[in-house]
A and B are shown apart, each in its own frame.
Chain A
């Protein structure tokens, strides 16, 4: 697969790899995908009292495109408030990384992951 430089950089030097305490009220966790599909993304966000995402971490089981999509999205959400972060579209990720058509679904999964993390945070904080 001929990948863009941008994608390769995220794959070789992924940003924000790691885990947060999923029991903390400040943390929202999104776990999407399925091992049987070959794609699982775990995305976590730490939100402050103003609703701004201070930090984000990810772990991904998946191809180079999946790893790059999730790495990129953790970079993008940092500093955004949760409503803005909720608006991030998979097409923006796909364009930025120049994903080949057969890999677009990886960007969709990343969008699902951030939405799931935000939903989890909101549920915990009854917002």
Chain B
């Protein structure tokens, strides 16, 4: 495959494994290869020790006890396990679930499946900033509400939900609080006790660990029970059977350890790069809009709409940059992003959006190159655009009656 894209700016989609993480993992493929559940010999004990050390580091990243961390294959599995696991265990007593329209597909699909089995699901809307309304959440809670699932940081728009407030309300009404923190770990401070979180999903490949590993935090005091989805040897306190991969666990542990140490400094550096990017583009191009809250947002997520220029055509033009778009043309279904729609972004602006993700290995040079390439392409495509032409002529595009095909 010919390598065309050479500047990676899609850090929300995935991240490269940090070289420090890879180094820590390597011995666990060939040298220290025991099954960590083998109780009877040092091959097993060595592997187990590495897994438990990793577990401690994962726990530290969210101020949890290591006994509350179970390893999974990733946040999709963790989300499924949290929601379906709680539903199955407690479902005969309480059968109402509250989540949000902008959640990741694995959460929405899990809820949809449960609704087919008789659970009632409330999907809270978001305001134009992408945030839920706390009062609406509280009003939605009934005596049948079992669990609230709201993600910490959004994958598409980077907005940060008010986790502490949500946790307070859930505790007040005796409802479990699950949060998908795949994009939040290592980017914002998380404390499961301060925030009254009962279940929390972690994704390895969003935090510079390899793909194929994640974790689920399950509160022990007071105890949250979940029904296992995988039956087998009873590993991970009976919640998730299957032999753990010491290499992958070590990878996740090391990634979390690095995040714990470097989070603040990294966040500041990325914030500076984000300002360089946005200012660079806005200085040269008019009619650029940021999608989602600017205030409650992680710095690495830049989701912009470029009015009068369609997203896929823009992505083709900035071909040495790897980014993603909320345009319909780039999704297999031809529907624009359901997330931008939920924010109330008009359809035509949703078609013009790009998500640019800045991360640990993004350099200032990368950002400057990106600004140049994006500005050039936006200007070029605007000369091709009949909508830009109309806007320049002072035509009110919203008044035109389009004969849609």
Chain A residues with CB under 8 Å of chain B are 1, 3, 11, 14, 17, 19, 31-42, 59-67, 102, 105, 108-109, 112
Contact = CB atoms under 8 A, between A and B. Distances in A.
A32 B309 contact: no
Contacts of A11: 313, 316-317
30 contacts: A1-B312, A1-B330, A11-B313, A11-B317, A33-B404, A34-B402, A34-B404, A35-B402, A36-B346, A36-B348, A36-B404, A38-B329, A38-B347, A38-B351, A40-B386, A59-B384, A59-B389, A60-B384, A60-B385, A60-B386, A61-B310, A61-B384, A61-B386, A62-B313, A62-B329, A63-B310, A63-B316, A102-B332, A109-B405, A112-B405
B383 interface: yes
Contacts of A35: 347-348, 351, 387, 397, 402
Interface string B323-344: 0000111101010100000000
A91 to B, nearest CB: 16
Interface residues of B, number: 31
Given A1-B312, A11-B316, A38-B348, A63 B386 contact: no
B8 interface: no
Contact of B310 (A3, A59, A62, A108): A62
Given A36-B347, A37-B405, 10 more contacts: A3-B316, A32-B405, A33-B402, A35-B402, A36-B348, A37-B328, A61-B310, A61-B386, A64-B316, A65-B329
Nearest to A41: B386
Q: Closest 4 CB pairs between A and B? A: A35-B348, A34-B402, A38-B351, A42-B386
Contacts of B347: 35-38
A37 B404 contact: yes
A38 B405 contact: no
Nearest to A14: B384
Interface-central residue, A19, A38, A39, A59, by most chain B CB under 10 Å? A38
B308 interface: yes
Nearest to B397: A35
Contacts of A41: 386
Given A11-B313, A32-B405, A102-B334, A59 B386 contact: yes
Contact of A36 (B312, B316, B402): B402
Contacts of B405: 32-33, 37, 39, 105, 108-109, 112
Interface in B264-303: none
Interface-central residue, B336, B385, B389, by most chain A CB under 10 Å? B385
A103 B347 CA distance: 19
Contact of A38 (B336, B385, B389): B336
A67 B387 CA distance: 14
Interface in B125-177: none
A11 B328 CA distance: 19
A63 B384 contact: no
Majority secondary structure, B binding face: helix
Interface-central residue, B308, B383, B386, by most chain A CB under 10 Å? B386
A32 B401 CA distance: 10
A117 B51 CA distance: 69
Nearest to A17: B384
A32 B403 contact: yes
B336 to A, nearest CB: 7
Contacts of A65: 329
Contacts of A19: 389
Contacts of A1: 312, 316, 330
B389 A63 contact: no
A7 to B, nearest CB: 10
A54 B386 CA distance: 21
Contacts of B329: 38, 62-63, 65
A62 B311 CA distance: 8
B377 to A, nearest CB: 11
Nearest to B331: A102
Contacts of B386: 31, 40-42, 59-61
A63 B385 contact: no
A17 to B, nearest CB: 6
B376 to A, nearest CB: 13
A71 B310 CA distance: 16
Contacts of A62: 310, 313, 329
Contacts of A109: 405
B127 to A, nearest CB: 22
Interface-central residue, A31, A39, A59, by most chain B CB under 10 Å? A59
Interface string B214-252: 000000000000000000000000000000000000000
Interface string B363-394: 00000000000000000000111111100000
A11 B377 CA distance: 12
A89 to B, nearest CB: 15
A102 B316 CA distance: 17
